[in-house]
Amino acid sequence: MTLFVLVIACVILLCVLAEKFSDKFGMPALILFMFIGMLFGSDGIFKIPFDNFVLAENICAVALIFIMFYGGFNTNWPVARKVAAKSIVLSTAGVIVTAVITGFLCYFIMGISAKESFLIGAVLSSTDAASVFAILRKKKLALIDGTASVLEVESGSNDPVSYMLTIIALSFMSPGENGNIAITVIKQVLFGVIIGIVLARLVITVLVKTSIVSEGLDTIFIIAVVLGCFGINNVLGGNAYLSIYLFGIIVGNSRIRNKQNLIPFFDGVTSLAQISIFFLIGLLSFPHLMPAIIPKALAIVVFLTIIARSVAVFGLMLPFRCSARQCLLISWAGLRGASSVVFAITAVAHDIPVKQDLYHIVFMVSLFSVAIQGTLLPAVARKLGMVDEKSDVRKTFNDYQEETALQLMRMHIPKGHSWENKRICEVNMPTGSLAIMIKRGNETVITKGGTEIYAGDDIILTVPPYEPSEQDKLEEHNILKSDPWCDKAIEELDIPEDLLIAMIVRDEETVIPNGQTVLRENDTVVMYR
C-alpha cells in the first residue's frame, strides 16, 4: 500500500512538472502526461502491468464527468449565447456528420468492416474539451468573431452525442440489442436533460434560499451532486455527460454563494482529472504494438481532419455566414483527445469482438491530433489572421465577477503637494483612475471636474485591478496584534533591501504607504520581492 501511494505521488508530481515545462518542450502538457503513463506502463521503464479496461473505464468516466461539469460551469453564458446556435449545430449534427464520413472512409478506403468502421467514427467524432480549453487558456489565444466561444461550447457539449453514437455502435455489434436503439436514444436525451435541469435548480435553491449546507462545504456538496447526477443517469439510462454539462452551465451562471471559492477548487479538480485520464491512457498502451498501427492511425487522422471535419464545419457553418478562414480554424481546432480514448476504453471494456486494435488506433489518432494540431493551433490562428490581440480569452470563461468590485485607493494631499489648490480637471490622475470623492475632515465631497483640492484632503480614487504575471512575486502578510510590525511605522522596520511594501489593505480601503505609514492590527500588507 505504501509503495502504491508513493507511486501515485510521484506520478502527480511528474505531471505537475510537465505542466510547468510544457512550453519549453513546445507541445501541450497533456501529451507529456500520456508519455509519463507510457513510462510507467508495461513497455516502459517501471513496467507496471495494467490492462484492466473495466477499472480504467470507471476511473476515466468519473474523471471525465468533472471535466464536463467544469466545462459547463466555467462557460460564460452571456458571452456564449451569441454563438450558441453555431456551437450546438456543430456539437450535434457536426458530430454525426463527422462520424458517418469517417466511418465511410474507413470502410471503403481501408477495408475495415462496416460495424467496426462506424464504431471508429463514433468514438472519434467529438472534439476534446480538455485539450481545447488547455490550449486556449495556456496560450491566451483570444480569437475574433467569437471563435473561441464557438470552440469552447462545441468541445464542451459534443461528448454526449459522441457517447450516444458509441453506445449505438456497440448495440449494433451486440446480438439481440438492435431493437432497443430507438428507445435508448430517447431515454438518453430525455432523462439526461430532465435530470440535469432538475438537479441544477435544486442546487441553486439549496445554496441561495437555505442554510442547509454549512459555510465551507459548498464544494463538497456540489461534488456529491455531480456524482449523484452521474449515478442517477446510469440507473435510469440517461446520458450522464449531457446531464452533467447542462447542470454545470445552469449552476455556473447562477448567483449561488461562494463562487469565488468554487472556481479555483474545481479548476484543481479538473486538472487532476486530466492528469488521471491521460496518465491512464499512456499506462494502458503497449508501445511495441504502435509501429504497426501508425500508418492506419495517420490515414484516419488525415481523413478525420482534412475531409470529415472540414466537410462538417464548412457545410454547417457557411449557412451562418461564417468566413472561410473561421471555418478553416474551427476545422483545424477539432482536436481528438481524452474523450475519444475514454469512449474507446468503454468499447473495449464491453468485450465486443473486433478485428482492429481499436484502443491503440484511437490512442495514436489522439496523440497525433493533440501533438500536431494542438501544437500548431496558435500558429495556424495567426496565419489565418484570427487572433484578437486586443482581447483576453479568459473573458469567454465564467470568471464569476458579474458584480465587479471597485479597487479603491486613498491618496493623502499634504501641505505643499503639487495638487494643492487645484481643480480635479487640472491634475494628471494615474492612468485608468477616477477620483470619486474627497474625505475632508468629517465631510465627504463627491467630486466633479471643478472640485478644488485642499491640503489635508484624502482623495479616494478607483484604480484598475492588477493581475500579476508569473514573474512577479507578490506576498501578503497579515498584521496580528502580536506581530512585531504592529503599530510601527514602515521606516522603523528592519526589512530586506529587495522587499518593497507596495500597499496596505485596511478594512475595504487600499492605502499606498510611505515611510511614515503606521501598520495597524488586521492590516494586510502586500509586498513585492
Longest dimension (CA), the chain: 92
- What pLDDT does 412 receive? 87
- The grid cell for 524 is 494586510
Give CA–CA dist 408/436, Å, rounded. 9
3-state secondary structure of 439: strand
Give CA–CA dist 120/312, Å, rounded. 17
The residue ranges of every structural domain in the chain are: 2-42+54-395, 403-465, 471-529
Give CA–CA dist 468/117, Å, rounded. 50
Identity at 486, one-letter amino acid code: C
- What pLDDT does 403 receive? 46
- The grid cell for 199 is 438537479
Q: How many CB atoms lie within 10 A of CB 359?
A: 25
- What pLDDT does 362 receive? 94
- The grid cell for 383 is 496565419
Give CA–CA dist 296/301, Å, rounded. 9
Contact 67, 338 (CB under 8 A): yes
Contact 106, 121 (CB under 8 A): yes
pLDDT averaged over 10-residue windows placed end to end, the chain, 529 residues: 82 83 69 90 87 92 93 85 92 96 94 94 90 80 90 92 93 70 89 96 91 87 96 94 95 82 87 91 91 92 94 95 95 91 92 88 92 90 90 65 60 88 87 85 88 91 66 73 86 81 80 85 82
Contact 163, 239 (CB under 8 A): yes
- The grid cell for 130 is 480538455
- What pLDDT does 134 receive? 79
357's enclosing H/E stretch is none
SS3 of the chain: helix, strand, coil, percent, to 5: 60, 10, 30
Give the torsion through C-alpha atoms of 133, 117, 38, 164, to 10 deg. Answer: 50
Contact 375, 27 (CB under 8 A): yes
- The grid cell for 100 is 458517418
| Ramachandran region, residue 146 (left: φ > 0; alpha: ψ -120 to 50; beta: rest) | left
Give the torsion through C-alpha atoms of 461, 467, 469, 475, to 10 deg. Answer: 80
- The grid cell for 378 is 496558435
Beta-bridged to residue 423, according to DSSP, are 452
Instruction: Give the architecture-level CATH label for domain 2-42+54-395.
Output: Up-down Bundle (1.20)
CATH topology assigned to domain 403-465: Alpha-Beta Plaits (3.30.70)
Buried b (16+ CB within 10 A) or exposed e, 67-105: bbbbbbbbbbbebbeebeebbebbbbebbbbbbbbbbbb
370 CB-near residues (< 8 Å, 6+ apart): 28, 30, 31, 128, 131, 335, 336, 337
- What pLDDT does 171 receive? 87
Q: Is the pTM of this model over 0.85?
A: no
- What pLDDT does 23 receive? 64
DSSP 400-418: S-SSPPPEEEEEE--TT-T
Beta strand 509-511 with 407-412: parallel, antiparallel or unpaired? parallel
Three-state SS annotation for 453-513:
CCCCCEEEEEECCCCCCCCCCEEEEECCCCCCCCCCEHHHCCCCCCCEEEEEEECCEEECC
Q: CA distances (Å), 259 to each of 34, 397, 465, in order?
A: 32, 14, 19
Give CA–CA dist 213/413, Å, rounded. 48
Contact 74, 398 (CB under 8 A): yes
- Domains 403-465 and 471-529 are alike in CATH topology: yes
CATH topology assigned to domain 471-529: Alpha-Beta Plaits (3.30.70)
- Angle between helix 159-172 and helix 240-252 axes, rounded to 10 deg: 170
440's enclosing H/E stretch is strand 434-440
Beta-bridged to residue 512, according to DSSP, are none
Give CA–CA dist 42/416, Å, rounded. 77
